[in-house]
Amino acid sequence: MIRVQDIYEYLNEIAPFDRQESWDNSGLLVGDPAQQVETLAVALDITPEAVRLAEEAGAQLFVSHHPVIFHAQKRFPSGEPAYLLARAGMSAVCAHTCLDVARGGVNDVLAEKLGLSAVKPVPSGEGAPLLRIGTVQPMDTPTLAGEVSRRLKAAVRVASADAGGLITRVAVCGGAGADLMAQAKAAGADAYVTGDANHHEFLDALQMGLTLLAAGHYETENPVVDVLARRLSSRFPELRVVRIPQENPVAWYQAD
């Protein structure tokens, strides 16, 4: 008999929860550690629609990257995902920043997805390394942007600082990683791929001589979900692991 606690402990092995950031809320967020699990749902986000699909699949446990409860809440109205999980008798374990830094986690998967070679973690000085850096065949910014777009199926925003030169070293961080640009530059990156970046962060990147590519929060993190589902299936072959389908909630429109 597989219990929620067994799956929690396995996730704690591959992405220790005590390595999460102080502001994060990873771990068992809804449910009972002793609950028996026969069907397990996996997705990037626990949304109302995702809960509905997981319930239809007969799941007793939902594993996600983003926490279903993030900020402190005083109320759980009927449409809240956490309320819907509890109503369905479904537990939830969420592995957020602990999975970002983990070996084989979000950023290792992103580096592999982008075809980087000789990938290494970038020491952070505090806590577990978050960034990864690797090499690519020498290419200019448009070529790199095209590769990122093709491999992630993403619309990529770019601030190019290469001045016509070639990029050989690329750092990556899925999700909201623009605040780590200085670390990427200090590690010797010519270019940095992350999910989100604002106008001023693009300007900062240009000022420090770093090409910055923002490929989308969803696009840079979602690749880990298939990997996580495969690892759970391999570790618990008696479980039925269901990958809940999701699409990017953000759409881009441009007038002709």
Domains with residue ranges and CATH for the chain: 4-99 (3.40.1390.30), 103-220 (3.40.1390.30)
Of the candidates 137, 141, 132, 136, the one whose C-alpha atom is nearest the C-alpha of residue 111 is 132
Give the confidence band of 209 by pLDDT, cuts at 50, 70, 90: very high
> From CA 47, how far away is CA 222, in angstroms rounded?
15
Of the candidates 110, 144, 150, the one whose C-alpha atom is nearest the C-alpha of residue 130 is 110
Q: Both tokens of residue 160?
A: 């190019």
Residue 195 phi, psi (nearest 5)? -90, -55
pLDDT tens for residues 71-115? 988 899 999 999 999 999 999 999 999 999 999 999 999 999 999
What per-residue confidence (pLDDT) applies to 254?
78
What per-residue confidence (pLDDT) applies to 162?
77
What per-residue confidence (pLDDT) applies to 148?
98
pLDDT at 133 over 80: yes
Helix (H) / strand (E) element for 61: namely strand 61-64
Quote the DSSP letter at residue 36: B
Q: Is 249 helix (H, G, I), strand (E, B) or coil?
A: coil
Q: Could you identify the residue written with the tokens 């993190």?
A: 221
What per-residue confidence (pLDDT) applies to 127?
80
Its pTM stands at 0.96
Q: Could you identify the residue written with the tokens 């999700």?
A: 175
Contact 32, 91 (CB under 8 A): yes
The one-letter amino acid at 234: S
pLDDT tens for residues 148-178? 999 999 999 999 997 778 999 999 999 999 9
Of the candidates 172, 167, 169, the one whose C-alpha atom is nearest the C-alpha of residue 139 is 167
The one-letter amino acid at 66: H
Sheet containing 39-43: order of strands: 27-30, 91-94, 61-64, 39-43, 240-243
Quote the DSSP letter at residue 3: B
Sign of CA dihedral 59, 63, 65, 69: positive
